[in-house]
Structure 1
Amino acid sequence: MASAPPEAFLERLVELVRKEQAAEEEEASLLFTSAPVSLLEAKGLALGNLSGQTSIGLGGRLLIELERPSAYHVSPSFPPHDFRPGDLARLRQQGAAGAAGKKGAAKGAKDDKGKGKDDGGLDAVVYRTTATKITLAVDEPPDDFILPERIQIVKVANPTTFTRQIFFLQRALRKLAAAEPLSPLLSVLLGIKKPSIAQRASEDPLDLVDERLNDSQREAVDFALSSEELALIWGPPGTGKTQTLVEIIRQCVRAGQRVLVCGASNLAVDNILARLSVAHPRYPEPIPLTRVGHPARVLAGLTRHTLDAQSSVSDTSALLDDIKKDLEGLEGQLRNGSGKNRIRGSERKKMWEEVRELRKEYRKRQGGVVSEVVSKAKVVLATTHGAGGRSLDRFDFDVVIIDEAAQATEPACWIPILKGKKLILAGDHLQLPPTLKSSDRLTKSLSSSKSRSATSSTADGDSPAPASSLGKLLLFPDLEVTLFSRLLALHGPSIRRMLKVQYRFNEKICAFPSAELYDGELVPDPSVAARKLSDLEGVDEDEDLDEPVVFFDTAGQAMYERAAEDGSFGSESKSNENEADIVHRYVQTLITASVPPTSISIISPYNAQVLLLASLIHPQYPEIEIGSVDSNQGRENDVVIVSLVRSNEEGEVGFLRELRRLNVSMTRPRRHLVVVGDSDTVGQGSEFLRKWMAWLEDEALVKVP
């Protein structure tokens, strides 16, 4: 890989963001042009035969509330779907032909430049979802938009996240081009200077709020607080990363600093918010904090901390309510009038001008309320994407903390970075990286020592392979290398502290990942080291079930994988009916031994196998969680059953060779890990897989199903 100066590096990131956006849009376009709407509905990418009504929301947006009318549906509840707040959805009349100008298209169609869409629909952002209602938000709908009586919505690619990433990367480029010197933080991130060595001003022990922190957590807190520009906190599974970050945040607030806390996912942000919002006995004073983002994405019980909720109870919210009522009244007359009641001509034009002025006034006053709320907060929490919203435009922070930094692309991290003077990244680069649409290297192996040293070093005394020389940065072919990994390779392990005690899984489950991925430094806390399945209340004692790790080997039994039918939806995925049967039988064994269904999770690397397992097991045990490996990152349960799927004579394992996917799989359970697979196939996948199979054999953990 070539190295280049910082300007070229940032320009490459912009290029890669555009490449990722193009890949996502191409995938969506291919899907929608080749798949019938009925199939999109079956896959949760479309919902049809809906009815709706409009209202005015935050910022004067037009809100469209959709539900399933009894005239077309037996149940008012939506079937399983993939519409989430923040997604982009295209609203059109049910049965629309799909091309602009054809009969049935919704009025208000826009062109390719954002003033309309060529399929006769109106693009809107999913604002809120419940079991029976979906609310869409439209910033500035066309004046002649009329809500159809029968509505269909289709999920489409959302360019907003890419637009924000490019905007902030270009802002960083402008800072580079400016005459003023770069901030110390940006100089470190761009390899222009080395990080300052962390030195505490006092030799006295840190006065911790949470005195339960173990030694490695205390060291990480001390290191993060004393570092001047940059600190990395390496948190392997179950090591109390959130607890450590909460302590760092409290210490920053104690020191009078303002903190921006971000995460790669809403769940990561809300996990921190949930702990931070509870007063500690040694820190009884509530911390003024605000959660930025869609309220519907925030965990139940935490919505009172959202920017929306805090803005609604401000002193000027009553005036906003009055403007909102006027807007709703005017728009109701203009959009819903018909026949003799329809307003026409110059009066209609005048009323639309009044609507636009009211909307402008509403946004101005609502912006003032938002700024007032944010300015009072000592801690602001948002996703990396959410940190780029208008509500934080005018605000800077002393410290920016990014959780799950090893699961976020580097361009996403640059959004909050440009708002802070100091950066703390937390994550585990040996778990799954961000999911990419544009990478053609998703099945590459990272299991060799050469690959590992290119992105990290697992021992504090080791020197990583250099990512560049000073002032030169490597130009990567895609966005798979995260900021966390790049900085670790660029500046070495001196910028990182590892959390070494895990509180999740027992000693046997911990043994292999600790030895192979964490240099033997990851150890179980004594409270979990000997835990077993029969410790659960009511569960029968059974020598086999109390074995922490079991591998059911299907080698030599012709239990081969099967690909979906060529040309069908999801044909690239694979399934294995025999493995599904083995999993089903073992689930019944667990249930017979009184293991609660809610204590069991089933995961697989392949979505086709997830669907097969769900169809087989959910009719009998609907409480059992079944999902993909990727969707279970960050989750845990007492029992985790993994179906590896791959079984073929060629020894092809696909992306099973990705050691980070296997690491996630084997570190989800607390008490009992069960893996079903073909050792002959799996063992050919990579050096890491061969070592794993050898360890299973040595420990006598391999069984015949």
Structure 2
Amino acid sequence: MNSTVNYIKEWQQALQLEIMHLKKYGSTKYLVSNGHLLSNDGDFTYFFETGSSVKVPVGSNVRLEWGGIKQDGRVLSSEGKSIIISFERSMGDFIGEAFLFHDPWELLEQLITRLDEIKRSKKKRLRIKRLMDPSMPQKHPSLAKQSSVKELYARSKFNPVTFVWGPPGTGKTYTLARVAANHYFQGKKILVLSHSNQAVDVLMAEISSFIKKKDRFQEGDVLRYGSQSGESLAIHEDIVTGQLLGKHEPELLAEKEQLAEEKRLLKHDLAGSFSKRDSNHLLELEKKLARVLEKIRQKEMEFVKEAKIIGTTLAKAAKDETVYQKEYDLIILDEASMAYVPQVAFAAALSKHIIICGDFKQLPPIAAARDSLVKLWLKEDIFHRAGVAQSVEEGELHPHLFLLREQRRMHPEISAFTNRVVYNNFVGDHVSVSSSRESIRSAEPFAGQAAALIDTSYSGEYCMTERTSHSRLNLWQLLLSFQLIHESYVDGAKSIGYVAPYRAQAEWMEKLLEDLYRLERQSTDIIAATVHRFQGSERDIMVFDTVDSYPQDRAGMLLTGKESERLINVAITRTKGKFLHVSDTSFINKHVYRSKTLRQLVDHQMQNGQLIARKDIGKWVKHQHPRLQWMHARKLEKIIEDLISTKDEMIMAIPDLTQLSDEWKQIVMKRSPEVKLTIISGNRNPDILSDTFICLPVSFSFIIFDKRYVWLGVPVETNNRIHPPYVSARLDSSIIATELSSQFKKND
């Protein structure tokens, strides 16, 4: 057992290192004001106003800082735009303004405590030993041609640990729900866990649906415990603790609502007056409400005690003794590849049998500290740390690894790459997936293609680093990607995702969509984000913008580093019917090794006829958005119109001012005398006079009129790395105009 104790010690050290890092860098910070002392009865209780709703759970430890003083406290109440905090020491009667810090490491401290308890239990240590060294012989009966549900049920019944590899679209939720239900039908007690509320909601809803379909549902047996995300459980309110309380204890909930409303009205009054009577009344309400909430908690504990299938998050399981002090027949841990190894170990210690389900080809857990122990135990998943993933790399499936082999999400033209390159041909397509995705494939853009590589080679040198974050941006690819979203929307797409490896690019797209597509987003699911936001979700159409291009001299680590295969895999496998990949293939071919997943993706798409060349833009841009228009860069009539109607300011960025043609010099002179001209360039040209000259290198040309109209790609002759046909883009967006000009501010 020494090895298991050593594991636990290392996990606790890794968690402690992560806590230390979070304590230094990771607090959530809120501004609070108008702090008044409510009472000094033992502890000192203060009421603060907050600018916005502060989501800090009651009972949480917080830190208040103002001036040079730091004081630890505990949250008594946090509702609306106010918060009540208890401190051990007085800070006077009034605090004008201060910062409140809520720290995310409490959950990690609770996990350390749970691991301490596991150390003292021989039975629990043995369960962890089996988890970390799954070398025990298989005990389940092996039958030919049995369904996934039957095989997984048998494995989880006879073996202490079963790893389930669930690549995207392979029916993970369907399979786990039916296995859970079949154990429940045999009288077993089951705990369903995941790191996210949404994943728990989805799985518990599917379990409930299946049991109801079999007409074997009994109220109280299936329980979703803790916070719920909402949508998935909308038609399964009979498994949610809040709804069960409403049915069985309506008076208790009514009293809670009444006290909460009284408190809200009193807090509103307190903002203007802090009389002793009002302060005492508020504290009395808090005490009454605390008593009611404790009664509700006791009732919830009874629900948990009676339930046969309980679903909650890993975090709640580790901090709530109602969950962690029980013994279960089976644990089902979903999305395990995103959980810390110590969290998985904690889960495994609660039961004789555990199913650990996830996809180790997707994103790993996230931790901030850089220590080697943190890297070993908090930044890699249980599949790798238990040696299960390594067997796959060697071309075999571990005896205790069960693979869901058929994907039903992606059109085969999309999955062909991930099935072969990422999943080593272990995964195939279900026969139905081609026909079920045909309607999306046959729509624009690129009707009849499920995958397309939109090549931006020789369009110019548009890749830059954002001024403050140094995250990469590519405005040309951003606008092309928006055009793809627009073409998709116009042809009826209902769910569209835009994913970029760099936060700055994703944020700029979010701003562009909010500006140009606010109305459309009210009826269509369109999201722009980095890859982490998309894990666990799916979209009809995905636009994958790789951003990297010239004048950068290397590809970013996000696309070429150790985790790049997982990142690219998630970007592709969110897609149901159309995968649109925006990339500079000339840059990738030069700067990315053939062995890297991104290069393999580009090569695959080119070899399979999915390339959309730069010269094809006139064929696929069929719907010009009123505020984003594409045109030939040599046709200058529209730009002259904008110039003549400009009233205040013209900003002109030119890589090499000496290359400006006589024609363009004449155009610039046509502006009104009241219009101030700012020129941004790495060198001056004495023939061109401007009101302001900003001496900064710029790799691509652009013009901004009146902080609203952005022209990209003109003057065309001043751009590097550009081949015909010459294309320019005109964007009407004051938001992007402001963002772009701020990237080239004159340094003070």
TM-score (norm 1): 0.71
2:384 is the alignment partner of 1:485? yes
Pick the aligned partner of 1:310 from 244, 250, 253: 244
Cα–Cα, structure 1 residues 360 and 558, in superposed 2: closer, same or farther, change >3 Å? Answer: closer
Q: Does 1:664 align with 2:561?
A: no
The partner residue of 2:555 within 624, 645, 652 is 652
- Alignment correspondent of 2:307: 377
The equivalent position to 1:620 in structure 2, one of 513, 516, 525, is 516
What is the match of residue 430 of structure 1? 361
Separation in structure 2 between the aligned mates of residue 475 and residue 327 of structure 1, nearest angstrom: 45
- Structure 2 gaps, min length 5: 39-44, 392-396, 615-748
Distance across 1 between alignment mates of 2:382 and 2:338: 10
> For residue 721 of structure 2, what is the aligned residue in structure 1?
none
CA separation of 1:89 and 1:625: change in aligned 2, threshold 3 A: farther
What's the CA shift for 1:215? Answer: 5.8
DSSP 3-state at the match of 1:248: helix
CA distance in 1 between counterparts of 2:419 and 2:250 reads 55
**Identical aligned residues as a percent:** 19
Q: 1:148 to 1:632 in 2, by over 3 A?
A: farther
Structure with more relative contact order (C-alpha pairs < 8 Å, separation 6 or more): 1
Verify the 8 A CA contact 2:252 2:292 in the aligned structure 1. no
Name the aligned partner's letter for residue 530 of structure 2: S
Conserved 8 A contact 1:642-1:665: yes
What residue is the counterpart of 2:139 in the other structure?
198
Task: Report whether the alignment pairs 1:419 with 2:317.
Answer: no
Equivalent residue for 1:504, pick from 409, 432, 446: 409
User: Could you tell me how far apart the structure 2 residues matched to 1:319 and 1:669 are?
Assistant: 43
Q: Secondary structure at the match of 1:626?
A: strand
Contact 1:87 1:158 survives alignment (8 Å): no
Q: Does 1:285 align with 2:206?
A: no
Q: Distance in 1 between matches of 2:429 and 2:305?
A: 42
Residues in 1 aligned to 2:498 and 2:256: alpha-carbon distance in whole angstroms = 52
Structure 2 equivalent of residue 254 of structure 1: 185
Structure 1: how far apart are the matches of 2:572 and 2:365? 19
Match of 1:702 among 586, 611, 619: 611
Quickly say closer, same or farther: Cα 1:322–1:582, change in 2 above 3 A. closer
* Pairing partner for 1:6 from 4, 9, 12: 4
**In 1: Cα distance, 2:409 partner to 2:250 partner:** 47
Could you tell me the TM-score, scaled by structure 2's length? Answer: 0.67
Are residues 580 and 215 of structure 1, via their aligned partners in 2, closer, same or farther at CA, if it must alter by over 3 Å?
Answer: farther
Q: Counterpart in 2 of 1:167?
A: 113
- 2:266 and 2:278 in contact (8 A); partners too: no
Which of 449, 452, 477 is the matching residue for 1:547?
449
Q: Distance in 1 between matches of 2:229 and 2:33?
A: 24
Instruction: Determine whether 1:631 maps to 2:540.
Output: no
Amino acid at match of 1:369: K
Paired residue secondary structure (2:399): helix
SS of 1:690's partner is helix
- Partner secondary structure for residue 519 of structure 1: coil
Alignment of 1:446-461 (within 5 A): none
1:251-284 per-residue CA deviation (whole Å, 9 max, x = no partner) reads: 1101111100001211100001222223443344
Match of residue 464 from structure 1: none
Q: Determine if contact 1:258/1:379 at 8 Å carries over to the other structure.
A: yes
CA distance in 1, matches of 2:84, 2:331: 30
CA contact (8 A) 1:198 1:226 kept: no
Q: Which segments of 5 or more consecutive residues in structure 1 lack a partner in the other structure?
A: 33-44, 55-61, 69-77, 101-109, 117-121, 128-132, 206-213, 442-473
Q: Is the 8 A contact 2:334 2:357 kept in 1?
A: yes
1:10 to partner: Cα distance: 1.5
Amino acid at match of 2:539: N
Distance 1:413 1:540 in 2: 43
In 1, the alpha carbon distance for the partners of 2:321 and 2:84 equals 16
CA 1:148 to 1:417, structure 2 compared with 1: closer, same or farther past 3 Å? farther
Q: 2:465 aligns with which of 543, 563, 582?
A: 563
Which shows bigger deviation, 157-166 or 486-495?
486-495
Give the 3 Å change call, closer, same or farther, for CA 11–241 of structure 1 in structure 2: same
One-letter amino acid of the structure 1 residue matched with residue 609 of structure 2? A
Aligned ranges 1:297-336 → 2 under 5 Å? 301=234, 302=236, 305-311=239-245, 313-314=247-248, 318=252, 321=255
CA distance in 2, matches of 1:607, 1:589: 24
Closer/same/farther in 2, CA of residues 674 and 97 from structure 1, 3 Å limit: same
Deviations 1:366-388 (Å, cap 9, x if unpaired)?
Answer: 55423321111011110111112
Quote the residue 1:186 is aligned against.
Answer: 128
**1:556/1:46 Cα in 2 relative to 1: closer, same or farther (>3 Å)?**
farther
Conservation of the 8 A alpha-carbon contact between 1:198 and 1:223? no
* Separation in 2, partners of 1:369, 1:543: 55
- Cα shift readout 1:503-549 (whole Å, capped 9, x = no counterpart): 1111110101000122223222222224556x25xx98568232111
Structure 1 stretch 650-659 or stretch 669-678: which is displaced more?
650-659
State the Cα deviation string for residues 186-240 of structure 1 (Å, max 9, x = none): 331243x73341324x97x9xxxxxxxx966235433433333011111100111
2:672 corresponds to: none
Where 1:619 maps in the other structure, the secondary structure is helix
**Aligned-pair Cα RMSD in Å:** 4.5
Q: Secondary structure at the match of 2:167?
A: coil
Corresponding letter in the other structure for 1:294: S
Other structure's SS at 1:504 match: coil
Question: What is the deviation of 1:25?
Answer: 2.7
Q: Render the CA deviation track for 1:532-576: whole Å, top value 9, x for unaligned.
A: 56x25xx985682321111122234333422122xx3xx142211
**Contact 1:506–1:528 (Cα < 8 Å) also in 2:** yes
How far apart in 2 are the matches of 1:341 and 1:231?
61
Larger Rg: 2
Matched residue type, 1:289: V
Which of 521, 537, 544 is the equivalent residue of 2:426?
521
Cα distance change on mapping 1:51 and 1:237 into 2, 3 Å: farther
Q: Cα gap change, 1:87/1:558 in structure 2, threshold over 3 Å: closer, same or farther?
A: farther
| Closer/same/farther in 2, CA of residues 360 and 701 from structure 1, 3 Å limit | closer
**Residue of structure 1 aligned with 2:473, choices 563, 575, 591:** 575
AA matched with 1:693: V
* Separation in structure 2 between the aligned mates of residue 540 and residue 393 of structure 1, nearest angstrom: 51
Partner of 1:602 in structure 2? 498
Q: Pick closer, same or farther for the CA change 1:529–1:544 going to 2, 3 Å.
A: same
CA–CA separation in structure 2 for the residues paired with 1:496 and 1:601:
32
Distance in 1 (CA, whole Å) between partners of 2:417 and 2:534 is 20
Change in 2 beyond 3 A, CA 1:617/1:339 = closer
1:436-476 alpha-carbon deviations (Å, 9 max, x no partner): 212489xxxxxxxxxxxxxxxxxxxxxxxxxxxxxxxx996
- For 1:153 and 1:264, the matched residues in 2 are separated by 30
Partner SS for 2:516: coil
